Amino acid sequence: MSTALHAPNAPVTDTAPPRLEARGVTMRFGGLVALKDVDLAVGSQEIVGLVGPNGAGKSTLFAVMSGLLKPTAGRVFMDGQDVTGSSPQKRAARGLSRTFQHPELFSSLTVREHLVLAYRMKNAKSRIWTDLVNFRGFFSAPKTEDTRVDELIDSLQLGAIQHQPAAGLPLGSARLLEIARALAREPRVLMLDEPSSGLDVRETEEVAEVLKAVVRDHGVSVVMVEHDVELVLGMSDSVHVLDFGVKIAGGTPAQVRQDPAVRAAYLGEEIEKPAVQRAEAEIEQGETA
Ligand SMILES: Nc1ncnc2c1ncn2[C@@H]1O[C@H](COP(=O)(O)OP(=O)(O)OP(=O)(O)O)[C@@H](O)[C@H]1O
């Protein structure tokens, strides 16, 4: 069964500023330039993929955008508001939610309880502590909370395991739970750190399908760091490629797939030699023969 979810975000017109934007971001760690003058924008209900070889600067850009790191230069904006100096908590209050590469779940709480807790963090903070000492007071939840949690469980296809404790969940389910938990906070932008890490092909496909449905049903924007290039190219509206801290390409998956610099630097393919170079090489070979 699939329940239509109410989109928590008001529709945004085409002229609206990006939901999340990095502008001219440079990050230095001592003498090392981890990011150099990088731009990246995440529009309304857009899926944006960020890829690049190891050490390219993806995690650093993620940290700058989520507020864990303050850039050496450049700015970060949410809906046109400068949030460069804002903490991760303040950005969360503005509608930024993120997952981590290694799901950080409470082993004894059930799948459903994780979502109830996350929902209350956003909507009813004062109830969290009374419920925790009130013998699983989670069960006396108000209707709107139940409805919202049911919607998330349905949307992320967690129904069959909703009463299981997080301990012992397969990694694919744990990742879906992490995404559901991030969505329970009703974000405008969801940042995903390696959503397919450690998953097999079937689980990766499942996560990709669920993510596409999430964007459609929740009206949320997604930006993800991901090593699985095919996954990113297959599901993103736009893809950005970092190499040695520099953004070497950005565009639609088709544009990025064809980009010679990406193919050379990232996909390990040689750029086809221009005709002149080929001719020169042939002459050289002829002379030495
Ligand atoms: N806190 C730090 N202090 C010093 N150098 C750092 C720090 N964080 C990252 N770096 C360096 O910055 C560069 C970019 O690292 P980053 O982790 O952002 O790359 P990445 O693209 O996420 O790599 P990976 O795919 O391996 O996770 C690397 O050379 C890394 O060693």
3-state SS record for the chain: CCCCCCCCCCCCCCCCCCCEEEEEEEEEECCEEEEEEEEEEECCCCEEEEECCCCCCHHHHHHHHHCCCCCCEEEEEECCEECCCCCHHHHHHCCEEECCCCCCCCCCCEHHHHHHHHHHHHHCHHHHHHHHCCCCHHHHCCHHHHHHHHHHHHHCCCHHHCCCECCCCCHHHHHHHHHHHHHHCCCCEEEEECCCCCCCHHHHHHHHHHHHHHHHHHCCEEEEECCCHHHHHHHCCEEEEEECCEEEEEECHHHHHHCHHHHHHCCCCCCCCCHHHHHHHHHHHHHHC
**8 inside domain:** no
Q: Is the pLDDT of residue 96 over 50?
A: yes
94 lines ligand 1 (CB under 6 A): no
50 vs 229, residue with greater confidence: 50
pLDDT at 261: 83
Ligand 1 pocket: which of 26, 32, 66 to mutate (most atoms within 8 A of CB): 32
What domain range includes position 220?
20-258
Query: What's the total number of domains in the chain?
Result: 1
pLDDT at 131: 57
User: Distance, CA 57 to ligand 1 centroid (Å)?
Assistant: 6
- What's the pLDDT band for 5 if we cut at 50, 70, 90? very low
34 lines ligand 1 (CB under 6 A): yes
CATH number at residue 200: 3.40.50.300
60 lines ligand 1 (CB under 6 A): yes
Ligand 1 pocket: which of 28, 36, 60 to mutate (most atoms within 8 A of CB): 60
**6 inside domain:** no
**46 inside domain:** yes
Nearest CA to ligand 1 atom 12: 34
Ligand 1 pocket: which of 35, 51, 58, 241 to mutate (most atoms within 8 A of CB): 58
Over residues 11-24, the pLDDT tens digits come to 445 678 999 999 99
Nearest CA to ligand 1 atom 2: 29
**279 inside domain:** no
